[in-house]
């Protein structure tokens, strides 16, 4: 078992590491333009990650059984709609997740 001072030290060190990794790109590229490879990553990786997450979330849905997948597709449609409407990833993620959980709570009970 870890002692309280050890746990506090570990949390403080991890906070410093996270701060350093977040600040590093700003310090490195504050006076010059980022390289072309980094611009590619910045532009194309987020949509690729989102596509992988959608596939991962829908991979276990039993599509051949009645209304199976209706809740997932409704939540996906809400996420897309919220993102197109407000252009806010956090709103679309949390809003569609809350909607999906509410649907599941209604269906299960």
Does residue 1 surpass a pLDDT of 70?
Answer: no
C-alpha torsion 89→54→34→86, nearest 10? -20
Question: Can you tell me which residue has the tokens 């939540």?
Answer: 75
Q: Are 42 and 33 in contact (CB under 8 A)?
A: no
**Residue 2: its H or E element:** none
Residues 6+ apart with CB under 8 A from 93: 79
What is the per-residue pLDDT across 78-102, written as a single tens digit (0 to 9) for each? 999 999 999 998 899 999 999 999 9
What is the per-residue pLDDT for 29?
A: 85
Q: Are 69 and 63 in contact (CB under 8 A)?
A: yes
What is the per-residue pLDDT across 25-74, written as a single tens digit (0 to 9) for each? 888 888 888 889 888 998 999 889 889 989 998 999 988 888 888 999 99
What is the per-residue pLDDT for 65?
A: 85
What is the per-residue pLDDT across 22-34, written as a single tens digit (0 to 9) for each? 999 888 888 888 8
């Amino acid at each position: 078992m870890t002692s309280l001072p050890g746990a506090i030290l570990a949390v403080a060190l991890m906070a410093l590491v996270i701060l350093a990794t977040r600040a590093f790109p700003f310090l490195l590229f504050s006076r010059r333009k980022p390289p072309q490879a980094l611009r590619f990553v910045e532009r194309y990786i987020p949509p690729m990650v989102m596509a992988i997450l959608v596939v991962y979330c829908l991979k276990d849905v039993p599509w051949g059984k009645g209304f199976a997948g209706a809740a997932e597709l409704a939540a996906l449609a809400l996420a897309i709609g919220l993102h197109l409407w407000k252009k806010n990833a956090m709103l679309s993620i949390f809003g569609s997740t809350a909607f999906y959980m509410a649907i599941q709570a209604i269906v299960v009970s």
